Structure 1
Amino acid sequence: MERNSGILLHPTSLPDSPICGTFGSPARAWLNGLAENGIGVWQFLPLAPPDPLGSPYSSPSSFAFNPWFLDENDLVRDGFLAGNIKKFASEFEGFEKRVDFQLANSKVKVLSSSLIDNWEKQDTTIKEEFEFWCKKQFWLDDHSIFMELRIQNNNLPWWEWPENFAVYDKHELAEWKIDYQKELLGHNLIQWHLDRQWKSIRKLANKLGIFLFGDVPFYVSKDSADVWSNRSLFSILTTSETYLQSGVPPDYFSETGQLWGNPVYRWSRHKANKYRWWRKRISRHLDQVDFLRLDHFRALEAFWAIPGKDKTAENGFWLPSPGKEILGLIKKDCGGSLPLVAEDLGLITSKVEKLRDDYELAGMKILQFAFDGNLNNPYLPENIKDENWIVYTGTHDNSTSLGWWKEIDQDKKEQIKNIIRDSDNFSSWDLISVGMNTRAKLFVAPMQDLLNLDDCSRLNKPGTIEGNWSWRLNKYDLNIKEALYKYGNLAKRYKR
């Protein structure tokens, strides 16, 4: 990729659809808006189903799409739903200012039921295409069974299900599947249509010359189809208890560290089958995007393992990871190139940097982290000396740039005065201009910064459980077009 500019916006935040953005006209309009203004990269968060709090980083599936993204209007257009959609539409009238998770899940139930009801009307060619697709998706059967069992068990985690299902007994499941073919068909149809719609979006992006920049979490949720059906690959006892869990050690920001609670990987089991699960996971994601951010990259070199019953991360310890072997195999799988980006933020060791550099992966630089008075700060614009970086104003986990400015002390503001035009009237665009002017090959700004929004519009605040993952653009906001136009012009000025 040549010198370029991008925008970070998750599909849930797209405007012009009820409840949340979809893989239909909202995504097409967004891509066309980027192309019209010469913006070459669309970055988003994992496209996986979210957890009950809306987070796509703790998904019940590493391979499935989020059903919220299914576009009902495209389903009608393509003949998969009845043309009279009034009854469906009336249940979800109005455009939500924020994503309503409960409403989004209700929409999925209605779509699933309607797709099942209309399935018998489809012609043989369509049904054969669907069956062929299903057979190629090694993950689909476990995903659909897991999601249906979850519904039938009142959304309890799998280790609280009846024992014959909790232990993933294939004989019991084969018997159970006979009685729930219709329900499983609904889950499969949802994923097939999502796959169809996303392929259409990717085809349009390619036609418009826009790169799709995805994201994959390092760990997976314990309450997921992945762990339930592959327990031996994770730090799970036969009693279903986690004996080692993930997190990061205590640091300047937290005296007790961060306890994430996901089971860590049993790398010896992965090595025994040549890291097949990991390779299939990355392959699945790279089928969907042009390049992929690997979250918590440092855990590919070594990871912080915390005893399973601990309530903080303080008593954890470092264990080695086989990152070199995994990256080497993925590189072979990709035909010699490695379209991955290392999320290398935080306290990174020289060994982690070497692993990143040995595979020529781009790393990340966050401008909000730059101004601590240290002239050797690696995030300072003048210290970004080569191209193989992606520079951001901030990420989905940070304050918006305007929110950040309001929070920092006067000493930091004084440091920044020499690189922005007017510190008394700060705008996010001041930081955007700084990022655009760096040597990094790619600069990305969250959409909130293009609209100069404060922290009322931030997407996620780590360590909190309410109000996250629900922000979205207002379809009636005329500033969106103006912001894209301004951003595109700025990119041209800096030859991006």
Structure 2
Amino acid sequence: MIIPKRSSGILLHITSLPSPYGIGDLGPEAYKFADLLEEAGQRYWQILPLNPTEVGSGSSPYSSHSAFAGNPLLLSPDLLLKEELVKEEDLAQRPHFPDDKVDFPAVTDFKRNIWFKAYATFKSRPNEELRQAFRAFREKHWSWLEDYSQFVVFKNHFEQKSWVEWPGELKQRHKGAMHALAQELENDIEREQFLQFLFYRQWEKLKAYCHLKDITFIGDMPFYVSHDSADVWAHPQLFKLDKEGMPEAVSGVPPDYFSETGQLWGSPVYDWKALERREYDWWIDRVLHNLQLFGLLRLDHFRAFSAYWEIPAGEKTAMNGKWVQSPGKELLTIIKNKCPDMPIIAEDLGEIDQPVRDLMQEFGLPGMRVLLFAFGDDLPHSIYAPHHHIQNSIVYTGTHDNSTVRAWYENESGAESQARLREYSHTSLTKENAHEVMGRLAYMSVAQLAVLPIQDVLGLGAESIMNKPSTTENNWTWRLKPHYFEKKDAQKLYKIVKLYGR
């Protein structure tokens, strides 16, 4: 079992931390949150993907232009100040940011200015220790760093056009043309590499601090990558693309209870035959890269490791797709050979068939049990109901894609589901205590790990939902206001941890 003892954790993405700079980052508030996790008896901190986000893609961490790079927006200006890469007056020039949500365009403008100053300081000041560390970082990560930094800078040079709209010799990666443009934009490319160096430096320090407190990060890895990404531009042969570089088939999920036309995600699907010829090297590198960043890794859309929904390019909905087998067993076998303890969680929510369950069983992967799904009319038989939980699983009140418990109770549950929860928990239920009732059900479950979104620890409502699937407005922006989660909250949670042996 990958979770060695009965334990608990909190789900809070880095961007949602308090910060005076408009977005949560890897600085002081992250360390303060780690202190509070320790005080609350928590052993896990679950986050969303750390890859770069783009305003044009709704700033979703699941839609990135790199499967390997870190998000420079998460760099802490305070830590850059500590390293004397920026000055106090640089930070004092920040605009007034809201403290309850991220204004991504405004944050990006401010942070870009900070990045430029940090890099200019690095270039102008002889700091041999920093230079050596930067050289070592470039050497270690060159396999993806060169492509990523060139992609970002070339895309900027071509006014944010997709790589398929670049001049032919750059679109097709002719060495001479790439070398010539890379030389012309050499400083910009090095700056992008330096930002990645700073990101990984700050991340590793935070991870080490958490490790000292016996707190493990649970990371998250999307199954697909964006078409307009460094990965697809650098490895077009690994995806089903036509000769112009456009997808021949795209990803999504079929029609279901939640959507009668399915979900059309639009990212290119993999050419598994091409990947097989290379022993799945790019995929394996990606998983191992994530396993170096996190103690546990959640594989998003795990059902695609068994079969995935492939939709012909050009379709307006996901209705006309088909199921295609994927070589998940081969991938997981290679991963297990390279990483025998297999610290992987399967995101097994939604319509899951027996072959997916068999795959999880074969590799001993824990799945997810979400309590918000438990109290429908199938409660007695639902796998999400606590009486059907198994030890090798992770129980959640909800995930980043769900309502908060309070919002569910107030706006979605209906009288019948409320009555079931009331009877099941044998508690007098109100909108003020629904989150506590649901939290206790999670903690008393036999599931080895219980994870509560911070919103459900605090009983926050609809204004605190992180993401509403199938919508594009106002997602991923929620932030935890300063002083919302403090010592008294941590101590209250600690009592429940002790009570239920977590």
Q: Return the TM-score normalized by structure 1.
A: 0.96
From the superposition, tell whether residues 412 and 96 of structure 1 become closer, same or farther in structure 2 (CA, over 3 Å). closer
Report what 2:467 is aligned to. Answer: 460
1:86 matched residue in structure 2: 89
Does 1:387 find its partner at 2:374?
A: no
Query: 1: CA distance between counterparts of 2:5 and 2:40?
Result: 17
Among candidates 252, 259, 276, match of residue 281 of structure 2: 276
2:371 to 367, 373, 386: 367
**CA–CA separation in structure 2 for the residues paired with 1:476 and 1:35:** 17
Alignment of 1:412-451 (within 5 A): 412-420=417-425, 421-425=427-431, 426-451=433-458
Whether the 8 Å contact between 1:256 and 1:312 is mirrored in structure 2 is yes
Shift in Å, 1:123? 2.5
Equivalent residue number for residue 397 of structure 1: 401
CA drift of 1:153 comes to: 2.2
CA shift, 1:94, in A, is 5.0
Query: Paired residue for 2:362?
Result: 358
Could you tell me whether the CA contact under 8 Å between 1:213 and 1:292 is conserved in 2? yes
1:187-230 deviation per Cα after TM superposition (whole angstroms, max 9, x unaligned): 01110011111110111111000011000000011111111111
Encode CA deviations 1:2-60: one digit per residue, 9 max, x unaligned.
10111000000011332111111111111111012211110000011113211000111
| Structure 1 residue 168 displacement after superposition | 2.5
d(CA) in 2 for partners of 1:456 and 1:20? 17
Paired with 1:16 and 1:175, the residues of 2 have a C-alpha distance of: 41
1:401–1:428: 8 Å Cα contact kept in structure 2?
yes
- Contact 1:112–1:189 (Cα < 8 Å) also in 2: no
Determine helix, strand or coil for the equivalent of 2:251: strand
Aligned to 2:202: 197
Residue 134, structure 1, aligned to residue 138, structure 2: yes
**1:34-183 counterparts in 2 under 5 A?**
34-52=37-55, 53-79=58-84, 81-82=85-86, 84-93=87-96, 96-119=99-122, 120-137=124-141, 138-183=143-188
Contact 2:370–2:398 (Cα < 8 Å) also in 1:
yes
What is the distance in 2 between the residues matched to 1:424 and 1:121? 60
Aligned residues: 491
Query: Does the CA contact (< 8 Å) of 1:116 and 1:182 recur in 2?
Result: no
Q: Report the Cα distance in structure 1 between the residues aligned to 2:72 and 2:228, rounded to whole angstroms.
A: 18
Contact 1:419–1:434 (8 Å) recurs in 2: no
Cα deviation, residue 304, structure 1: 0.8
- Take 1:254 and 1:51, find their aligned partners in 2: how far apart are those partners? 26
Aligned to 2:90, the other structure's residue is in SS state helix
Q: Return the offset for 1:85.
A: 2.3
Q: Is the 8 A contact 1:40 1:210 kept in 2?
A: yes
Letter in 2 for 1:42: W
Which of 23, 27, 50 is residue 24 of structure 1 equivalent to?
27
Q: Tell me by how many angstroms 1:161 deviates.
A: 2.4
How do 1:466-485 and structure 2 match up within 5 A?
A: 466-477=473-484, 479-485=485-491
AA in 1 matched with 2:135: E
TM-fit CA distance, 1:476: 3.9
* 3-state secondary structure, aligned to 2:136: helix
Distance 1:418 1:485 in 2: 29
Instruction: Summarize deviations over 1:166-194 as a string: whole Å, max 9, x none.
Output: 22323211111111111111101110011
Work out whether residues 31 and 206 of structure 2, in 8 Å CA contact, stay in contact via their aligned partners in 1. Answer: yes
Q: Which moved more, 1:207-216 or 1:249-258?
A: 249-258
- The farther-off stretch of 353-362 and 99-108 is 99-108
Counterpart residue number, 2:240: 235
Q: Secondary structure at the match of 2:290?
A: helix
Aligned position for 1:376: 381
- 1:139 alignment partner, SS class: helix
Cα separation, 2, equivalents of 1:66 and 1:463:
24
Paired position in structure 2 for 1:11: 14
Deviates more, 1:11-20 or 1:337-346: 11-20
Structure 1 vs Structure 2 CA RMSD: 1.4
Q: Structure 2: how far apart are the matches of 1:87 and 1:133?
A: 27
Q: Structure 1 residues 43-52 or 109-118, which shifts more?
A: 109-118
SS of the aligned residue for 1:469 comes to: coil
* 8 Å CA contact 1:393, 1:446 repeated in 2: yes
CA distance in 1, matches of 2:383, 2:310: 28
Paired AA for residue 428 in structure 2: D
Q: 1:312 corresponds to which residue? A: 317
- Provide the C-alpha distance between the structure 2 equivalents of 1:108 and 1:363, rounded to a whole number of angstroms: 37
Q: For 1:16 and 1:480, how far apart are their aligned partners in 2?
A: 15
- Look up the equivalent residue of 2:353 and give its one-letter code: T
2:276 and 2:25 map into 1 onto residues whose CA distance is 38
Structure 1 residue runs of 4 or more that deviate by more than 6 Å after TM superposition: none
Partners of 2:376 and 2:97 lie apart in 1 by 45
Deviation readout 1:277-336 (Å, 9 max, x if unpaired): 0111011111111010000001001111100111111111111111111001111111x1
SS in 2 for 1:262: strand
Q: Is the 8 A contact 1:294 1:343 kept in 2?
A: yes
Note the C-alpha offset of 1:93. 4.7
Query: How far did 1:91 drift?
Result: 2.6
Cα distance, 1:124 vs structure 2: 2.8
> What is the Cα deviation at residue 128 of structure 1?
2.4
Please state how far the C-alpha of 1:337 moved relative to its aligned partner.
1.5
**Amino acid in the other structure paired with 1:486:** K
Letter in 2 for 1:351: P
Which residue type is aligned with residue 351 of structure 2? L
Aligned residue in 1 for 2:249: 244
Gap regions ≥5 residues in structure 2: none
Q: SS where residue 177 of structure 1 aligns?
A: helix
Is the contact made by 1:115 and 1:189 (CA closer than 8 Å) also made in structure 2? no
- CA deviations on 1:435-463 (whole Å, 9 max, x unpaired) are 11100000011111111111111000011
Which whole-Å deviations, capped at 9, do the CAs of 1:341-376 have from their partners, x for residues lacking one? 000011111111010110001100000111122221
